[in-house]
Structures are given as C-alpha cells and as structure tokens.
Amino acid sequence: MSWYRETRSKIYTGFRWLLSPLVKAFVRLQMPPAVISAAGILFTGVAFILMYRGWSNGDGWGLMRAAGGVILFAAAWDTVDGEVARALGKTSPKGAFLDSVLDRVSEFIIFLGIFLFFGFGKLDCALLFALLFVSYSISYIRARAEGVGIDCSVGAFDRATRVFIIGVALIAIPAHMNWVIRGLLAGTAFTAARRFIHVLTRKAKA
C-alpha cells in the first residue's frame, strides 16, 4: 500500500499548503485550537443544509455537488486545528480527545444527510447504517488498542479517506451514491477486520 500512503501524503501536503495562510493568521491571532475544531462542525452543518436544499428542490444535483465541495473543505479544515496547536505549543490529550469526538459527530451528520436526502431503498439504508457502525468500530478498535499500548493505524479506509471519497463522489457522481456507499462499506469492513487481527497478533506494552 506504499502507493496509497504516498498519494495520501501528497494530498495532505497540498491541503497544508493551501491552508497555510489561514494557519499563519490563526497563529498571529492566538486562536484557541478548540475553537477551530468546533468551527469544523459548522461546515459540516452547511453541507447538511445544502443536501436538504438539493433534496427539497427535487432536481438539486448542483446543490448536492456544492455539499460535496463543503465536505472536502471541512476535511481540509480538520488539519488546521492541529497545525495551529503545534505552532502555539498547545497540543494536549484533551485537545486530541475533543478533536476525536467532533470527528465522530461530523461523520454522523454527513451520514444522516445521505440517509435523509438521497431516497435510498431499504437495502441501501441498511448498508448505510452498517457503514456507520463499521466506521465507528474502526475508531473504537484503534482507541482500545492504543489504550493498551498497541499502535493501530493500519488500513486504508480511515475517517479521512472515507470523508474524502464521499466529498468527491457528491461532486462527481451524486446520482450513484448508493454504489459509493457499497464500495465504502466493503473497504471499511476490510480495514476494521485488518485492525482487529493486527491488535490480536501484537503484544501489548507492559
């Protein structure tokens, strides 16, 4: 998976470059990283509203695409709080905890918007909820593993990847989100299984 990590690293570097002026401005203003983290939820809320407006208009794929753009911006914004915290020397376990909790809330809002406004049938709704469960399982497995001293960052379909794929799919193929969800479910389930096996085959630190 070296090609994946290399590609992801390039994308992340691009986001950091694009947002570097904003990071510098926040550092000059001594903006608390927690405030920046909380602001990310607002962008996800905007994406939710755009999905609602696209649904209520009946033929609002343009608004759905706009929602995808906002989701991608929110994903990029998620790197800003960490950059500012490091620049200000304010990294802390509490900050990491808050960021993790807000990430879960943000992801739930995105899934809720897809569930409410894309007119999925029963099967696709069930698969969407399965994806939400597996997505949270990935985070839980990692948290529990790190709690006993085992690094568990393996697997391709972490939150950042899932959100990026959803954002791009909303822009490019909003009419086929059900197939995107199916693909994400397969990849995310594989990542969850890989992390589970990874933890069981490693020794915890004493």
Share of residues in the chain with pLDDT > 70 (%): 95
Q: Domains of the chain by range and CATH?
A: 2-200 (1.20.120.1760)
197 pLDDT exceeds 80?
yes
Is the confidence at residue 5, as pLDDT, over 90?
Answer: no
| pLDDT tens digits, 161-183 | 899 999 999 999 999 999 999 99
Tokens 């594989």 belong to which residue?
A: 190
Q: What is the pLDDT of residue 166?
A: 95
Question: What is the model's pLDDT at position 59?
Answer: 64
> Looking at residue 206, what is its pLDDT?
53
Quick one: what percent of the chain has pLDDT higher than 90?
47
Instruction: Tell me the pTM.
Output: 0.88
Instruction: Give per-residue pLDDT as tens, 45-89.
Output: 999 999 998 888 776 788 999 999 999 998 888 888 888 888 888
> Quick one: pLDDT at residue 88?
86
Residue 205: pLDDT band with limits 50, 70, 90: low
Query: What are the tens digits of pLDDT across the range 93-123?
Result: 888 888 889 999 999 999 999 999 998 999 9
Cα(183)–Cα(150) distance, integer angstroms: 29
Mean pLDDT for the chain? Answer: 88
Q: Give the separation between CA 56 and CA 189, rounded to whole angstroms.
A: 32
Q: How far apart are CA 27 and CA 36, in angstroms?
A: 11
Element (H, E) at 197: helix 177-200
Residue with tokens 């897809």: 114
Q: How far apart are CA 86 and CA 155, in angstroms?
A: 26
Q: What is the pLDDT of residue 135?
A: 95
